[in-house]
Structure 1
Amino acid sequence: MKPNEAQLLAELPAPAKSFILYFLEGTTDITPESAPMVEEIRSEIAKRPGAEVQVTGHTDTVGSDSDNDALSQKRAEEILNLLASRGFDRAIMSAVGRGERELKLPTGDNVGSAVNRRVEVIVR
């Protein structure tokens, strides 16, 4: 490796980091086990100059498609609001809801699944 290549590699931005927070059924309330993850996300954003944050909400299959679309969007916005309340500019963040379209654990319709009730946060 040439001397300047090592320096260039050291200056590359850190790879994106992802976090998953889980929610109580039918709500925008994160589980007690997920609460400490908010501080980890905050810390990761703070150490990245020019950070971009993508927040994607998901649901399980309980409820109608339209209700789950709305709930997943509300979950994503809840986390975005939580991060904004800790001083981060909303302009660096985006929130989208995917409803039950991207199940982490495939299930039948109207099946409650804690692993599917989640928000994924990607910090770049």
Structure 2
Amino acid sequence: MKIARLCIFVITMIVFAGGVSAHSGNHWGSSGGHSWKSGSGECWNASSGSSGTDCGDAVPEPMAKEITGFYWPDDQDYDGVIDADDVCPFTPEGIAVESNGCAIDNDGDGVPDYLDKCPETPLGTVVDTDGCGRALVTLRGVHFKFDSAALTSEAKSILDRATSAINSNASQNISIEGHTDSTGSDSYNLDLSQRRAQSVVDYLVSKGVSASRLNAKGYGESNPATSNDTSASRAQNRRVEILAR
């Protein structure tokens, strides 16, 4: 009789083990991918941790008392990645995430897309908390001579002060970005902004900055800092920015 009871017990445990798994907690499910209904009537899929269909009845309370409890994987930020695998367990609800549970960051600048105001920053760019390139120096309102890329004395004075900061961060590459207001044609402004950016590069090299660290690029009127409605705002758009990369 004892042997028969033992056999029945072993068979029962094997069958039960094939159907459910136990862990600390109060939720129930099926290791075979079946759906179970929780005590509150919610339907869950045991294998994926997502909402299930075709639920059976909730696991009887006596069974819950006999076993320590069935573990249902927690996902406290509801991003589809269970907490045990979630590197970023507090992602705001509704945000698209990678397989590790962290918010997607397409440009790889460390600022997730949902917070990134500059989502296409070139790889390696040093950015601020908005995900935009950090300007070391901005030459705003520096006026060049008409149809000339020659630096004014005011611009040179600003660049002289910037040189020490640039040289003190020798591991950073520097982008020199030229911008114009909307006066003139697109093609003319693009060329003018490129020539002025290159003038800044040439001057910095003459002051000891390695040319290999510098890159000049003109954007014409495509990235205004403000509107072009007034002469004052247009002056703000005629600028050269020096960005750490």
Give the TM-score normalised by the residue count of structure 2.
0.40
CA contact (8 A) 2:177 2:218 kept: yes
Q: Which is bigger in relative contact order (C-alpha 8 A, separation at least 6)?
A: 1
Aligned to 1:93: 214
Higher strand share: 1
CA contact (8 A) 1:61 1:112 kept: no
Identical aligned pairs, as a percentage? Answer: 31
Aligned to 2:188: 67
Amino acid at match of 1:23: H
Say which is worse superposed, 33-42 or 81-90, in terms of deviation: 33-42
Give unmatched runs, 5+ long, in structure 1: 1-14
CA contact (8 A) 2:137 2:243 kept: yes
User: C-alpha root-mean-square deviation of aligned residues, in Å?
Assistant: 2.5
Amino acid at match of 2:212: A
**Structural mapping, 1:48-87, within 5 Å:** 48-87=169-208
* Residues in 2 aligned to 1:26 and 1:85: alpha-carbon distance in whole angstroms: 23
Residues 76-108 of structure 1 show CA distances to partners (whole Å, capped at 9, x for unaligned) of 100000001112221111110000001112125
CA contact (8 A) 2:201 2:211 kept: yes
Q: How many residues align?
A: 109
- The correspondence for 1:18, drawn from 132, 136, 143, is 136
Measure how far apart 1:49 and its partner are: 2.8
Residues 39-80 of structure 1 show CA distances to partners (whole Å, capped at 9, x for unaligned) of 121011121132311100001111110000000000110000
* Residues in 2 aligned to 1:89 and 1:32: alpha-carbon distance in whole angstroms: 22
CA contact (8 A) 1:70 1:99 kept: yes
Aligned to 1:121: 242
